[in-house]
Chains A and B, each alone.
Chain A
Amino acid sequence: MRTRYALILAVIGAVLGAPPASAKPPKGPALPAGIREVVIYPAPALVVIDDAGATVDLATARGHWAFVHFWASWCIPCRREMPHIAQLQKRMQGQDLRFFVVNVADSDDAIFEFLGGIATDLSSLRDPDGSNTEHWQPRGLPSTFLVDPQGMVHYRALGGRDWEDSAYLEFLTRLVAPAGNRK
Protein backbone atom coordinates (compact mmCIF):
# COMPACT_ATOMS: atom_id res chain seq x y z
CA MET A 1 0.00 0.00 0.00
CA ARG A 2 2.77 2.40 1.02
CA THR A 3 4.63 1.59 -2.15
CA ARG A 4 1.54 2.45 -4.22
CA TYR A 5 1.16 5.85 -2.46
CA ALA A 6 4.83 6.57 -2.96
CA LEU A 7 4.47 5.76 -6.64
CA ILE A 8 1.41 8.02 -7.00
CA LEU A 9 3.23 10.86 -5.20
CA ALA A 10 6.25 10.38 -7.43
CA VAL A 11 4.08 10.58 -10.56
CA ILE A 12 2.32 13.75 -9.27
CA GLY A 13 5.69 15.26 -8.40
CA ALA A 14 7.06 14.46 -11.83
CA VAL A 15 4.03 16.01 -13.53
CA LEU A 16 4.12 19.17 -11.40
CA GLY A 17 7.85 19.49 -11.85
CA ALA A 18 7.75 19.11 -15.62
CA PRO A 19 8.17 22.28 -17.68
CA PRO A 20 4.89 23.67 -19.06
CA ALA A 21 4.12 22.96 -22.70
CA SER A 22 4.32 26.70 -23.52
CA ALA A 23 7.68 27.33 -21.83
CA LYS A 24 9.36 30.62 -22.78
CA PRO A 25 12.08 30.50 -25.42
CA PRO A 26 15.68 30.47 -24.23
CA LYS A 27 16.73 33.75 -22.60
CA GLY A 28 18.10 36.39 -24.93
CA PRO A 29 20.85 38.88 -24.18
CA ALA A 30 21.05 40.51 -20.74
CA LEU A 31 18.88 43.61 -20.57
CA PRO A 32 20.43 47.04 -20.24
CA ALA A 33 18.76 49.70 -18.09
CA GLY A 34 15.26 50.69 -19.15
CA ILE A 35 14.70 47.80 -21.56
CA ARG A 36 11.82 45.58 -20.46
CA GLU A 37 11.03 42.11 -21.71
CA VAL A 38 7.29 41.85 -22.36
CA VAL A 39 4.94 38.92 -22.58
CA ILE A 40 5.41 38.31 -26.28
CA TYR A 41 2.52 39.52 -28.42
CA PRO A 42 1.86 40.23 -32.10
CA ALA A 43 2.93 43.71 -33.13
CA PRO A 44 -0.04 45.93 -33.98
CA ALA A 45 -0.31 47.15 -37.55
CA LEU A 46 1.88 50.11 -38.42
CA VAL A 47 1.15 51.80 -41.72
CA VAL A 48 2.64 55.28 -41.81
CA ILE A 49 4.03 57.67 -44.40
CA ASP A 50 7.58 58.72 -45.15
CA ASP A 51 8.86 62.23 -45.86
CA ALA A 52 8.01 61.81 -49.55
CA GLY A 53 4.43 60.88 -48.73
CA ALA A 54 4.85 57.18 -49.60
CA THR A 55 3.22 54.52 -47.43
CA VAL A 56 5.52 52.46 -45.23
CA ASP A 57 4.23 49.24 -43.67
CA LEU A 58 5.93 47.46 -40.79
CA ALA A 59 4.81 44.20 -42.38
CA THR A 60 7.55 44.69 -44.98
CA ALA A 61 10.09 44.14 -42.21
CA ARG A 62 9.00 40.53 -41.69
CA GLY A 63 12.09 38.35 -41.59
CA HIS A 64 14.06 41.07 -39.82
CA TRP A 65 14.14 42.62 -36.37
CA ALA A 66 12.45 46.02 -36.22
CA PHE A 67 13.15 49.01 -33.98
CA VAL A 68 9.82 50.84 -33.72
CA HIS A 69 10.12 54.24 -32.08
CA PHE A 70 7.46 56.89 -31.39
CA TRP A 71 8.28 60.53 -30.76
CA ALA A 72 6.88 64.06 -30.88
CA SER A 73 8.50 67.45 -31.36
CA TRP A 74 7.16 68.87 -28.08
CA CYS A 75 8.55 66.03 -25.99
CA ILE A 76 11.71 67.07 -24.17
CA PRO A 77 13.16 63.55 -23.66
CA CYS A 78 12.61 62.98 -27.41
CA ARG A 79 14.84 65.96 -28.12
CA ARG A 80 17.61 64.44 -26.01
CA GLU A 81 17.20 60.95 -27.43
CA MET A 82 16.86 61.60 -31.15
CA PRO A 83 20.55 62.30 -31.91
CA HIS A 84 21.38 58.97 -30.23
CA ILE A 85 18.87 57.18 -32.44
CA ALA A 86 20.39 58.81 -35.52
CA GLN A 87 23.81 57.52 -34.46
CA LEU A 88 22.43 54.11 -33.54
CA GLN A 89 20.99 53.80 -37.03
CA LYS A 90 24.46 54.42 -38.47
CA ARG A 91 26.18 52.07 -36.04
CA MET A 92 23.73 49.26 -36.79
CA GLN A 93 24.04 49.56 -40.57
CA GLY A 94 24.55 46.16 -42.17
CA GLN A 95 22.89 44.37 -39.29
CA ASP A 96 19.50 42.76 -39.32
CA LEU A 97 17.60 45.64 -37.77
CA ARG A 98 15.08 47.84 -39.59
CA PHE A 99 14.23 51.25 -38.13
CA PHE A 100 10.71 52.68 -37.99
CA VAL A 101 11.06 56.07 -36.33
CA VAL A 102 7.54 57.46 -36.20
CA ASN A 103 6.47 60.99 -35.41
CA VAL A 104 3.14 61.27 -33.64
CA ALA A 105 0.72 63.84 -35.08
CA ASP A 106 3.11 66.76 -35.63
CA SER A 107 2.94 68.98 -38.71
CA ASP A 108 5.52 68.66 -41.50
CA ASP A 109 6.99 71.98 -40.42
CA ALA A 110 7.36 70.91 -36.80
CA ILE A 111 9.12 67.68 -37.84
CA PHE A 112 11.40 69.46 -40.26
CA GLU A 113 12.33 72.10 -37.71
CA PHE A 114 12.90 69.55 -34.96
CA LEU A 115 15.08 67.16 -36.95
CA GLY A 116 16.87 70.00 -38.73
CA GLY A 117 18.08 71.22 -35.39
CA ILE A 118 19.24 67.99 -33.78
CA ALA A 119 19.39 65.02 -36.15
CA THR A 120 19.76 66.16 -39.74
CA ASP A 121 20.64 62.66 -40.99
CA LEU A 122 17.51 61.09 -39.60
CA SER A 123 14.37 60.88 -41.67
CA SER A 124 11.24 60.20 -39.72
CA LEU A 125 8.04 58.48 -40.67
CA ARG A 126 4.74 60.17 -39.85
CA ASP A 127 1.57 59.05 -38.14
CA PRO A 128 -0.39 62.19 -39.06
CA ASP A 129 -3.47 61.62 -36.90
CA GLY A 130 -1.80 59.52 -34.21
CA SER A 131 -4.09 56.54 -34.87
CA ASN A 132 -1.27 54.04 -35.49
CA THR A 133 0.39 55.09 -32.28
CA GLU A 134 -2.84 54.48 -30.36
CA HIS A 135 -2.80 50.83 -31.44
CA TRP A 136 0.68 50.39 -30.02
CA GLN A 137 -0.32 51.88 -26.66
CA PRO A 138 3.04 53.34 -25.71
CA ARG A 139 3.23 54.28 -22.04
CA GLY A 140 4.40 57.74 -23.04
CA LEU A 141 6.65 59.48 -25.52
CA PRO A 142 9.31 58.65 -26.47
CA SER A 143 8.73 54.94 -26.60
CA THR A 144 10.50 52.09 -28.38
CA PHE A 145 9.46 48.53 -29.21
CA LEU A 146 11.64 45.73 -30.53
CA VAL A 147 9.82 43.40 -32.90
CA ASP A 148 11.22 40.03 -33.94
CA PRO A 149 11.38 38.70 -37.52
CA GLN A 150 8.04 36.94 -37.03
CA GLY A 151 6.33 40.22 -36.15
CA MET A 152 6.15 39.65 -32.40
CA VAL A 153 6.94 42.34 -29.82
CA HIS A 154 9.60 41.11 -27.37
CA TYR A 155 10.93 44.23 -25.68
CA ARG A 156 10.02 47.80 -25.01
CA ALA A 157 12.11 50.70 -23.81
CA LEU A 158 10.61 53.05 -21.27
CA GLY A 159 11.37 56.69 -21.95
CA GLY A 160 14.48 58.01 -23.66
CA ARG A 161 18.04 56.68 -23.48
CA ASP A 162 21.53 56.94 -24.90
CA TRP A 163 21.32 54.25 -27.56
CA GLU A 164 24.99 54.74 -28.45
CA ASP A 165 26.02 53.48 -25.04
CA SER A 166 27.87 50.19 -25.41
CA ALA A 167 25.32 48.34 -23.26
CA TYR A 168 22.56 49.08 -25.79
CA LEU A 169 24.74 48.51 -28.84
CA GLU A 170 25.88 45.13 -27.53
CA PHE A 171 22.34 44.18 -26.58
CA LEU A 172 20.96 45.03 -30.02
CA THR A 173 23.87 43.47 -31.87
CA ARG A 174 23.45 40.21 -30.00
CA LEU A 175 19.68 40.35 -30.31
CA VAL A 176 19.63 40.61 -34.09
CA ALA A 177 22.57 38.31 -34.75
CA PRO A 178 21.65 34.98 -36.35
CA ALA A 179 21.12 32.40 -33.60
CA GLY A 180 24.35 30.56 -34.44
CA ASN A 181 26.43 33.73 -34.12
CA ARG A 182 25.18 34.80 -30.68
CA LYS A 183 27.92 34.93 -28.09
Chain B
Amino acid sequence: MIYGMEKSVLISFRLCMASVLLIALQPACGADWRYEDDELEISAFNRSPDQVASFYEGRGFPKPMIDATRNQCFIVWSIRNKTAHVLLMDLARWSFVAESGLVTRVTRAQWFKLWERMGAPANSRATFRWTLLPETLDLQPNESVGGNITLAAFNAPFEVTMSFAAGGLHAATAKRVQIKGVQCAHDTH
Protein backbone atom coordinates (compact mmCIF):
# COMPACT_ATOMS: atom_id res chain seq x y z
CA MET B 1 0.00 0.00 0.00
CA ILE B 2 1.35 3.37 -0.94
CA TYR B 3 -1.40 5.52 0.50
CA GLY B 4 -0.28 8.74 2.12
CA MET B 5 2.89 8.98 0.12
CA GLU B 6 3.62 10.09 -3.36
CA LYS B 7 4.93 7.64 -5.88
CA SER B 8 6.29 8.96 -9.09
CA VAL B 9 6.82 6.41 -11.76
CA LEU B 10 7.36 6.64 -15.44
CA ILE B 11 7.02 3.08 -16.65
CA SER B 12 7.00 3.34 -20.36
CA PHE B 13 7.48 6.13 -22.82
CA ARG B 14 7.89 5.17 -26.41
CA LEU B 15 8.64 7.70 -29.08
CA CYS B 16 7.03 7.52 -32.46
CA MET B 17 10.26 6.89 -34.31
CA ALA B 18 11.04 3.89 -32.15
CA SER B 19 7.74 2.20 -32.83
CA VAL B 20 7.78 2.01 -36.59
CA LEU B 21 6.76 -1.64 -36.48
CA LEU B 22 3.71 -0.81 -34.42
CA ILE B 23 2.38 1.81 -36.76
CA ALA B 24 -0.14 -0.57 -38.30
CA LEU B 25 -1.62 -1.16 -34.86
CA GLN B 26 -1.12 2.33 -33.60
CA PRO B 27 -1.68 4.71 -36.46
CA ALA B 28 -0.93 7.88 -34.51
CA CYS B 29 2.61 9.12 -34.70
CA GLY B 30 2.70 9.60 -30.96
CA ALA B 31 3.58 7.83 -27.77
CA ASP B 32 1.86 5.65 -25.25
CA TRP B 33 2.25 5.51 -21.50
CA ARG B 34 1.75 2.69 -19.07
CA TYR B 35 1.84 2.37 -15.32
CA GLU B 36 1.27 -0.70 -13.20
CA ASP B 37 1.74 -1.63 -9.57
CA ASP B 38 -0.11 -3.85 -7.12
CA GLU B 39 -3.05 -1.47 -6.98
CA LEU B 40 -3.56 0.12 -10.36
CA GLU B 41 -3.02 -0.59 -14.01
CA ILE B 42 -3.10 2.52 -16.18
CA SER B 43 -2.46 3.11 -19.85
CA ALA B 44 -2.84 6.17 -22.03
CA PHE B 45 -2.75 6.74 -25.77
CA ASN B 46 -2.92 10.05 -27.51
CA ARG B 47 -5.09 10.51 -30.57
CA SER B 48 -4.38 12.98 -33.35
CA PRO B 49 -7.09 15.38 -34.55
CA ASP B 50 -7.49 13.32 -37.74
CA GLN B 51 -7.96 10.12 -35.76
CA VAL B 52 -10.50 11.72 -33.47
CA ALA B 53 -12.32 13.26 -36.42
CA SER B 54 -12.50 10.00 -38.33
CA PHE B 55 -13.82 8.19 -35.27
CA TYR B 56 -16.69 10.64 -34.83
CA GLU B 57 -17.29 11.04 -38.57
CA GLY B 58 -17.77 7.29 -38.72
CA ARG B 59 -20.54 7.69 -36.14
CA GLY B 60 -22.36 10.31 -38.20
CA PHE B 61 -21.35 13.39 -36.21
CA PRO B 62 -22.14 16.68 -37.99
CA LYS B 63 -19.22 18.74 -39.26
CA PRO B 64 -19.41 21.53 -36.64
CA MET B 65 -19.01 18.93 -33.88
CA ILE B 66 -16.08 17.34 -35.68
CA ASP B 67 -14.46 20.74 -36.17
CA ALA B 68 -14.83 21.47 -32.46
CA THR B 69 -12.95 18.28 -31.56
CA ARG B 70 -10.10 19.26 -33.88
CA ASN B 71 -9.11 22.12 -31.60
CA GLN B 72 -8.61 19.87 -28.59
CA CYS B 73 -6.15 17.24 -27.43
CA PHE B 74 -7.65 13.76 -26.90
CA ILE B 75 -5.92 11.21 -24.70
CA VAL B 76 -7.54 7.82 -24.21
CA TRP B 77 -7.13 6.37 -20.73
CA SER B 78 -7.69 2.90 -19.41
CA ILE B 79 -7.60 2.39 -15.65
CA ARG B 80 -8.08 -0.80 -13.64
CA ASN B 81 -8.44 -1.03 -9.87
CA LYS B 82 -6.41 -4.07 -8.82
CA THR B 83 -7.12 -3.67 -5.11
CA ALA B 84 -9.80 -5.41 -3.07
CA HIS B 85 -11.40 -2.10 -2.11
CA VAL B 86 -13.07 0.86 -3.79
CA LEU B 87 -10.84 3.60 -5.19
CA LEU B 88 -12.48 6.92 -5.88
CA MET B 89 -11.43 8.64 -9.08
CA ASP B 90 -12.15 12.35 -9.42
CA LEU B 91 -10.75 14.09 -12.48
CA ALA B 92 -11.07 17.47 -10.76
CA ARG B 93 -8.21 16.30 -8.54
CA TRP B 94 -5.94 15.38 -11.42
CA SER B 95 -3.40 17.88 -12.67
CA PHE B 96 -1.77 18.38 -16.05
CA VAL B 97 1.36 20.47 -15.68
CA ALA B 98 3.92 21.53 -18.28
CA GLU B 99 7.11 23.50 -17.72
CA SER B 100 5.32 26.59 -18.90
CA GLY B 101 2.34 26.06 -16.59
CA LEU B 102 -0.97 24.26 -16.31
CA VAL B 103 -2.55 22.50 -19.26
CA THR B 104 -6.29 23.19 -19.18
CA ARG B 105 -8.63 20.22 -19.12
CA VAL B 106 -11.88 20.54 -21.05
CA THR B 107 -14.55 19.08 -18.81
CA ARG B 108 -17.62 17.09 -19.70
CA ALA B 109 -19.80 20.05 -18.63
CA GLN B 110 -17.93 22.37 -20.98
CA TRP B 111 -18.47 20.01 -23.90
CA PHE B 112 -22.16 19.74 -23.10
CA LYS B 113 -22.50 23.50 -23.04
CA LEU B 114 -20.83 23.71 -26.41
CA TRP B 115 -23.09 21.01 -27.89
CA GLU B 116 -26.08 22.81 -26.42
CA ARG B 117 -25.08 26.08 -28.09
CA MET B 118 -24.52 24.30 -31.38
CA GLY B 119 -27.81 22.45 -31.18
CA ALA B 120 -25.91 19.19 -31.67
CA PRO B 121 -28.07 16.10 -32.30
CA ALA B 122 -28.97 14.10 -29.21
CA ASN B 123 -27.54 10.83 -30.51
CA SER B 124 -24.15 12.42 -31.23
CA ARG B 125 -24.13 14.03 -27.79
CA ALA B 126 -24.92 10.67 -26.21
CA THR B 127 -22.13 8.93 -28.09
CA PHE B 128 -19.66 11.70 -27.23
CA ARG B 129 -20.66 11.49 -23.57
CA TRP B 130 -19.95 7.76 -23.48
CA THR B 131 -16.53 8.18 -25.04
CA LEU B 132 -15.35 10.49 -22.25
CA LEU B 133 -13.72 9.18 -19.08
CA PRO B 134 -16.21 9.71 -16.22
CA GLU B 135 -15.55 12.85 -14.16
CA THR B 136 -15.94 10.85 -10.95
CA LEU B 137 -16.21 7.14 -10.37
CA ASP B 138 -16.00 4.79 -7.40
CA LEU B 139 -13.85 2.17 -9.06
CA GLN B 140 -14.88 -1.21 -7.68
CA PRO B 141 -12.39 -4.01 -7.03
CA ASN B 142 -11.10 -5.30 -10.36
CA GLU B 143 -13.24 -2.81 -12.28
CA SER B 144 -11.84 -1.16 -15.39
CA VAL B 145 -12.85 2.15 -16.84
CA GLY B 146 -11.82 3.75 -20.09
CA GLY B 147 -12.41 6.90 -22.07
CA ASN B 148 -11.05 10.18 -23.32
CA ILE B 149 -9.66 13.04 -21.32
CA THR B 150 -9.70 16.22 -23.38
CA LEU B 151 -7.29 19.09 -22.96
CA ALA B 152 -6.74 22.42 -24.65
CA ALA B 153 -4.36 21.70 -27.54
CA PHE B 154 -0.79 21.86 -26.26
CA ASN B 155 2.55 21.49 -28.01
CA ALA B 156 4.97 20.53 -25.23
CA PRO B 157 5.25 17.46 -22.99
CA PHE B 158 3.48 17.63 -19.64
CA GLU B 159 3.16 15.68 -16.43
CA VAL B 160 -0.10 14.08 -15.37
CA THR B 161 -0.69 13.57 -11.65
CA MET B 162 -3.60 11.25 -10.91
CA SER B 163 -5.16 11.01 -7.50
CA PHE B 164 -7.26 8.09 -6.25
CA ALA B 165 -8.87 8.16 -2.82
CA ALA B 166 -9.68 5.10 -0.78
CA GLY B 167 -12.51 5.43 1.72
CA GLY B 168 -14.34 8.39 0.18
CA LEU B 169 -13.64 11.63 -1.58
CA HIS B 170 -12.37 13.42 1.51
CA ALA B 171 -10.27 10.54 2.74
CA ALA B 172 -6.86 11.46 4.05
CA THR B 173 -5.30 8.54 2.26
CA ALA B 174 -4.88 9.21 -1.41
CA LYS B 175 -2.81 7.32 -3.89
CA ARG B 176 -1.04 9.47 -6.39
CA VAL B 177 0.48 8.36 -9.65
CA GLN B 178 2.55 10.62 -11.84
CA ILE B 179 3.25 10.05 -15.50
CA LYS B 180 5.76 12.32 -17.15
CA GLY B 181 6.30 13.22 -20.77
CA VAL B 182 2.69 12.91 -21.91
CA GLN B 183 2.09 14.69 -25.21
CA CYS B 184 -0.79 15.59 -27.45
CA ALA B 185 -0.67 13.90 -30.85
CA HIS B 186 -0.56 15.98 -34.00
CA ASP B 187 -1.52 15.16 -37.55
CA THR B 188 1.49 14.25 -39.65
CA HIS B 189 0.43 15.99 -42.87
Contact = CB atoms under 8 A, between A and B. Distances in A.
A33 B84 CA distance: 13
Contacts of A110: 58-60
A139 B140 CA distance: 11
Name the interface size band of chain A: 20 to 34
A133 B143 CA distance: 20
A158 B126 contact: no
A46 interface: no
A148 to B, nearest CB: 22
A158 B71 CA distance: 33
Given A110-B59, A129-B122, A104 B127 contact: yes
Interface stretch (B28-36, B93-101, B130-138, B178-186): B130-138
Interface of B: 55, 58-60, 121-127, 129-131, 134, 137, 140, 142-147
B61 to A, nearest CB: 11
Q: Enumerate the 4 nearest inter-chain pairs by beta-carbon distance, A residue then B residue, closest first.
A: A130-B126, A129-B122, A105-B126, A105-B123
Given A74-B55, A140-B134, A104 B143 contact: no
12 contacts: A33-B142, A36-B140, A74-B131, A75-B130, A105-B123, A106-B123, A107-B123, A130-B126, A130-B127, A139-B134, A158-B140, A159-B144
B145 A139 contact: yes
A106 B125 contact: no
A130 B122 CA distance: 7
Nearest to A110: B59
A131 to B, nearest CB: 7
Nearest to B131: A74
B146 A140 contact: yes
B59 A129 contact: no
Contacts of A129: 121-123, 126
B59 A106 contact: yes
A140 B140 CA distance: 13
Contacts of B144: 159
Contacts, number: 60
Contacts of B142: 33-34
A128 interface: yes
B145 to A, nearest CB: 6
A36 B139 CA distance: 13
Nearest to A128: B123
Given A139-B145, A158-B140, 15 more contacts: A72-B127, A74-B55, A104-B126, A104-B127, A105-B122, A105-B126, A129-B122, A130-B122, A133-B126, A134-B126, A139-B143, A140-B130, A140-B134, A140-B146, A159-B144
Contacts of A106: 59, 123, 127
A31 to B, nearest CB: 12
Nearest to B137: A139
Interface in A30-55: 33-34, 36
In the complex, which of the residues B130, B142, B143 has the most CB atoms of chain A within 10 Å of its own CB atom?
B130
A104 B129 CA distance: 11
A132 to B, nearest CB: 10
A36 B58 CA distance: 34
Contacts of A139: 134, 137, 143, 145
A141 interface: yes
Contacts of B122: 105, 129-131
